[in-house]
Copies of this chain bind each other. A is one copy, B any other.
Amino acid sequence: VTDRLSDDEQLLWRAWKHAAEQVRERVAADIRGSTGLSDPDFGILTRLVDLGDGALRQNELAASMHWHRSRLSHQLTRMQERGLVARETVRGGVIVTITPAGRVTIDRARPVHAAAVRAHLLEPLSRFDRADVTEMLAALTR
């Protein structure tokens, strides 16, 4: 009820912020370092392959990412320029397709991603109960 956080509160807030930053940065750095893909790149290519077998309507892709149209539009423009995806206008929308180059890259990125998540999140938390941790995190998104 005060305007400042108590020492206890500060401690938890800083630990949270620091951990969130570190994990995000480390995982992203591993993927970028070995494949050149950014986090958004990885998310999009993964969905194209897993959800659409290589192609999805732009609209569905946006929904699956929980992204606004404009964000996806900008992102796809850059990825298209880098040769990772192609766009084709069809009746009532746009179909996004992964290119052969995109497929090669995502295939290389997947194991790196799994290893990074293990190294930077799962391993450090191994002495805690996985279900407990998952449940605690779920409390933050309700």
Residues of A within 8 A of B (CB): 2-5, 8-9, 11-13, 15-16, 18-20, 22-24, 110-111, 114, 117-118, 120-122, 124-125, 127-128, 130, 133-134, 136-142
Contact = CB atoms under 8 A, between A and B. Distances in A.
A19 B117 contact: no
Given A3-B111, A11-B134, A111-B3, A16 B121 contact: yes
B122 A12 contact: yes
12 contacts: A5-B118, A9-B122, A11-B134, A12-B130, A15-B141, A16-B121, A16-B137, A22-B140, A120-B140, A124-B139, A124-B140, A133-B136
Given A133-B12, A140-B125, A114 B5 contact: yes
Most buried by B among A13, A22, A140: A140
Nearest to A20: B20
A19 B130 contact: no
A130 B16 CA distance: 11
A132 to B, nearest CB: 9
Nearest to A8: B130
